[in-house]
Amino acid sequence: MNVTFSKAALPKTGAIVVPVFQGGNRTVGFRSLNKMTGGALERAAKVGDFSGKTGQQVELISPKGFENGSVLLLGAGKPGEMTLVNAHKLGARPVAKYFKSHEKALTFVLDGFTANDIATDELHAAIAYGARLRAYAFDVYRTTAKRSEMPSLKKISINSSEALEARKVFVDLDGIADGVFLARDLVSEPANILHPESYAERCKELESHGLKVEVLGEKAMAKLGMGSLLGVGQGSRKESKLVIMKWLGGDEAQKPVCFVGKGVCFDTGGISLKPGEGMWDMKWDMGGSAAVTGVMLALAKRKATANVVGIIGLVENMPDGDAQRPGDVVTSMSGQTIEVLNTDAEGRLVLADALTYTQEEFDPAVIVDLATLTGAIIIALAHEYAGCFSPDDELVSALTDAGKATGEEVWRMPLNKAHDDMIKSEIADMKNISGREGGSSTAAAFLKRFVKDGIPWAHIDIAGMAWAYKEKPLCAKGASGFGVRLLDEFVRANYED
């Protein structure tokens, strides 16, 4: 989507969006347009009982002076409640309305639109950012769709006296949006197209943006002793991969921030086969890895001044004659043994070796892993929050703050000795499942066993957030790209000058 910033006169065609705060205040842009249309905006507001409440809309079709276009009055809520997150949503709402309409261009009239606690250039850039995030569709494989079913919107413009300043702020946000879109693309792809081998190839392509990318195959992983990860993929014809992506934008002596992602490109459940109904959703069981890959692109695009490493374990969990069996015991890279009671609890097996590799190779300043790990987290938090597990209060606080700043919120969940006791095995060092109780916490306890004492670590379960089953403020139904903006803000706020 092409997003432009301009101080020039308004176009006479396309959709013109005028945000209006609740309480009667009219911006310079509103007053100017009202005069141009012979008072049509004020009349429409009165007739439409438009007060400026959040999300309220009144549309004027072909008013005087804009015979080939329309004007949309858009409620911005109370001035004192405007935040950057709310600005993102404000920018997204008109895109949701016009994205698949006949309109090709959308212009936001923002002269005089200000907020007390946000610099005006940042506010206007945030509106553009929200608009761009909403302007996404995955239509790669649609060949017979009707014109009305396909996106028509081609251009988003910000019209403001602060246009030049806002454009400078938007540059970094635009790069982050590219990372979000990459994550959405990866999650949206069908598993016959995106499998461990092809996924690794897409990661290698990111070297053109300045990332250093290394791919380990099964022979290399076997040499390292990654029996936990390799056991998950042994029933697939597609070779499992471990991908390491590096962005070294900080001081040479700076320990890296490490993000680890679960990349189960398709999860049948293995021998512990899932029910057929809904199994097609399991193409997005690599959502954690997509978030890690997306944030690595975002960091490279905005030239982040930090050292960050993204590690993703890529496997397929398939039920063929060589597949892992319930009751098998595998030896992880850490040397710890695992009794695999359920082959559908596979993501933690992938992450176990990825976590060990991360610590052995990079001496990380902090590790955050992301995974669509458990259905239990959806029972606990619905599709509103990702679950955050960590014994480190400061790290949880930093991730919570990053979630609030971006709207990708996390909720801290319990993790203690009782959960660790629940995964004790009678024949191995641990088992990969416990009972139904506390399923998300016991999964986190499993992962914690692979993190060395003294290393700050958090696990984020995004099972309820990677895919939107209904339209959300910043995305339509489908892949959300959740985690990219959260992790980017976490790095920006805590590891950059």
| 348 annotated active-site | yes
Beta pairing class for 386-389 and 410-412: parallel
354-410 per-position pLDDT tens digit? 999 999 999 999 999 999 999 999 999 999 999 999 999 999 999 999 999 999 999
CATH 3.40.920.10 fits 2-161, yes or no: no
Of the candidates 75, 76, 98, the residue with the CA atom closest to the CA atom of residue 157: 98
| Residue 66: per-residue pLDDT | 81
Helices 163-188, 120-134: crossing angle, 10 deg rounding: 30
Level-2 CATH architecture, domain 179-495? 3-Layer(aba) Sandwich (3.40)
d(CA 483, CA 385): 11
Domain boundaries, the chain: 2-161, 179-495
| 166, 4 contact by CB (below 8 A) | no
| 274 annotated active-site | yes
First CA to last CA across the chain, in angstroms?
A: 31
Contacts of 473 (CB under 8 A, 6+ apart): 88, 89, 92, 93, 130, 134, 407
Residue 475: what are its φ and ψ, rounded to 5°?
Answer: -155, 150
Residue 389: what are its φ and ψ, rounded to 5°?
Answer: -125, 125
Catalytic residue among 246, 348, 485, 492: 348
pTM tops 0.95, yes or no: yes
Sheet holding 430-431, edge to edge: 328-331, 337-340, 430-431
19 has which bridge partners? 74
**Residue given tokens 């009144």 in the structure block:** 58
80-89 per-position pLDDT tens digit? 999 999 999 9
Burial classification of residue 469, based on how many CB atoms lie within 10 Å of its CB (0-12 exposed, 13-18 middle, 19 or more buried): exposed
Catalytic residue among 255, 274, 412, 449: 274
Q: Over 80: is that where the pLDDT of 79 sits?
A: yes
| Residue 188: per-residue pLDDT | 98
Mean pLDDT of 114-131: 96
| Residue 376: per-residue pLDDT | 97
| Residue 68: per-residue pLDDT | 75
Contacts of 355 (CB under 8 A, 6+ apart): 260, 367, 369, 447, 450, 451, 457
